[in-house]
Amino acid sequence: MAAASVDNERLPGIMREAAMSHDLVILFEHPEWQKPLFAALGRRGIRFETFDLKHACFDPDRVAQARLYFNQASPSAYVRGNARAVPLALSLMRSLELGGARVLNGARAFALDLSKSTQAALMHSWVSGIRTRLPLTTRTRLLPRGAIDGRLC
């Protein structure tokens, strides 16, 4: 069975080879937060491409090459109705990094930002004597009495 043909020019936010002529590709999901950055880059004459994670896709076999990728995605994207931007950002960054690309605020940093328990574990590994009381649940009714006001454990 033949693979379906995809017209890359019609897909919004797809990584294409055209980005190879750029110094920087910015991955983002909140355009308002990016306006000052985009304006500053434009004033400095930096060739950049934007990659809007809300309306995007990518082919891991044809990931574009830029000198640097800058992840500006936020794990809180779901609050703004952009929940799919988070796994797409993580997948894209992992593909870029596996392909040898330089990614600022890349997959490891983003994954750490996604998990409070991983942050706590990392903090414990760096600083001895710190004890974090961190209730990990999505259902507050499952927490022991006193967990909400800081008296957990």
User: For residue range 72-95, what is the model confidence (pLDDT) as tens digits?
Assistant: 888 887 778 878 888 899 999 999
pLDDT at 140: 54
pLDDT at 66: 86
Residue 1, pLDDT > 70, answer no
pLDDT digits (tens, 9 = 90+) for 3-26: 333 334 444 454 544 445 678 999
Please choose, from the candidates 62, 15, 103, 100, the residue with its C-alpha nearest in 3D space to the C-alpha of residue 90: 103
Paired tokens of 109: 């940093």
pLDDT at 62: 73
Distance CA 153, CA 146 (A): 9
pLDDT digits (tens, 9 = 90+) for 41-66: 999 999 999 998 988 888 877 766 78
Residue 29, pLDDT > 70, answer yes
Fold designation for 8-115: Rossmann fold (3.40.50)
Q: Where are the domains of the chain?
A: 8-115
Cα-based distances in Å from 108 to 35, 64, 97, 104, 105: 26, 20, 10, 10, 8
Element (H, E) at 109: helix 107-114
Other C-beta atoms within 10 Å of 73: how many? 25
